[in-house]
Amino acid sequence: MSDRNLKNFKMEKKGTALIVFLNNPPVNTLNESFFFELQQIIEQVNSDVEIISVIITTALPKVFTVGADVKELLKKYGSTRKMNNAIENLNLGHKTFDMIEKSPKPFIIAYKGLSYGGGIELGCACDIRIASEDTVFSMPETRIAFIPGYGGTQRLPRLVGCGAAKRIIFTGEPIKAEEALRIGLIDEITPNDKLLERSIEIAECIAKGSPRSLAFIKKSVNEGIDLHINQALEREKMYFMENILTLEWSEGLSAFIDKKDPKFKRIGKVKENVEIKLV
């Protein structure tokens, strides 16, 4: 996977993790080319059996992103409110973040510096969120008569609760890393100079598990969160049964019994075609 043709990103492979650096100086705006390129990266990640997880961070020293490219939006929407352009832009952002959420690979977002607007929405679509001590979060959309349009009004409340989400969005006030951790916007804070190191440690820990099991777990959690608990438990049972049909399950169980480290295949093929019916 090469980043030579990318305008908004740099990439680096570290073991089984792909590190994706936002790299669009001076402030990493989320323009349309950003979304198209990120979609391309996600598609490549999904098809690369050697990549177990993805780390998204920034190549800039003090900025993760300030969010959407407002100048580009103004040009595309125009004073006549070009609604088709607006819908296309919204669909582009939604599709990109949906692809992250639905990817079988775990996505880790590693924030540092200013992390505004769409940067928070990007993180809400990821699986694990960590931040350096100097990270500052904000959703200032209302101050320019916008609303969060890339899933912020839906994913953020599911992550931090309705009250905290409304306060963040309504006020646009900056939130430091400590407060973000307290309300559940992020899962962990690191020293400024340890952010990437800690992200890689998490990715290495993830890589010890079965890639197929990881994919089933991600689907089970993400799909079950919006279901009634009884339906969600049925969904969990379905993915449990699908998982034990994989070669990776056989390898993991055998290695445990033999007290060996499992050697998971990067393609967890199913043993046989079995229709799973839960009673």
| DSSP string for residues in 106-142 | -EEEEE-SEEETHHHHHHHHSSEEEEETT-EEE--GG
pLDDT digits over 143-191, tens only? 988 899 999 999 999 999 999 999 999 999 999 999 999 999 999 999 9
Residue 79 pLDDT level (bands cut at 50, 70, 90): low
Domains and CATH numbers, the chain: 9-206 (3.90.226.10), 209-279 (1.10.12.10)
Average pLDDT of span 48-67: 96
Question: Annotated catalytic residue: which of 141, 188, 197, 251?
Answer: 141
Angle at 269 between CA 267 and CA 272, to 5 degrees: 175
Is pTM beyond 0.75? Reply is yes
Q: What angle in degrees, to the nearest 10, is found between the helix axes of 70-77 and 83-102?
A: 140
CA 34 – CA 19 distance, rounded (Å): 16
Question: Annotated catalytic residue: which of 32, 37, 121, 275?
Answer: 121
pLDDT for position 274: 45
Is there a catalytic annotation at residue 141?
Answer: yes
- For residues 118 and 97, the answer to whether their CB atoms sit within 8 Å is no
